[in-house]
Amino acid sequence: MVIILGRFSLVTAILIGLAAFAHSQSRSVRVLTIDGTINPSSADYIHEQILRADEAHAECLIIRLNTPGGLLKSTRVIVSDFLASPLPVVVFVAPAGSQAASAGVFVTLASHVAVMAPGTNIGAAHPVTVGEQMDSIMMQKSTNDAAAFIRTISEKRHRNIRWAEDAVRKSISITETEALNEHIIDTIATDITRLLAAIDGREIQTSAGMKILRTKDADVVNVNMSFVQQLLDILSDPNIAYIFMMLGIYGLLFELYNPGLIFPGIVGVIALILAFYSFHTLPINYAGLALIIFAIILFVLEIKITSHGLLTVGGVVCLILGSMMLIRTDSMLDFIGLSWKIVITTAVITSLFFIGVIGFGIQAQRRKPVTGIQGMIGEIGEAFTILDPEGRVRIRGELWHAVSTQGNIEQGSKVVTEGIENLKLKVRKLET
The kind and range of the H/E element at 180 are: helix 176-181
Q: What dihedral angle (degrees, nearest 10) is formed by the CA atoms of 325, 327, 331, 332?
A: -70
122 vs 226: CA distance, rounded Å: 28
| 61-117 pLDDT tens trace | 999 999 988 888 889 999 999 999 999 999 999 999 999 998 899 999 999 999 999
pLDDT at 44 over 80: yes
Q: Which residue has the higher pLDDT, 423 or 118?
A: 118
Question: Domains of the chain by range and CATH?
Answer: 2-228 (3.90.226.10), 234-366 (no CATH), 374-429 (2.40.50.140)
The answer to whether 103 and 126 have CB atoms below 8 angstroms apart is no
pLDDT at 19 over 60: no
Pure H helices in 305-368: 310-325, 340-366
Q: Which of 18-27, 111-120, 123-132 has the highest mean pLDDT?
A: 111-120
Residue-level pLDDT at 4:
46
Model confidence, pTM: 0.69
**Burial status of residue 55 (CB atoms within 10 A of its CB: 0-12, 13-18, 19 or more):** exposed
| 332-384 pLDDT tens trace | 455 566 777 888 888 788 777 766 665 565 555 555 555 556 667 778 888 88
The kind and range of the H/E element at 32 are: strand 28-35
Strands (E), 130-276: 173-175, 187-188, 203-206, 209-212, 219-222
| 236-268 pLDDT tens trace | 888 888 888 888 888 887 777 777 778 888 888
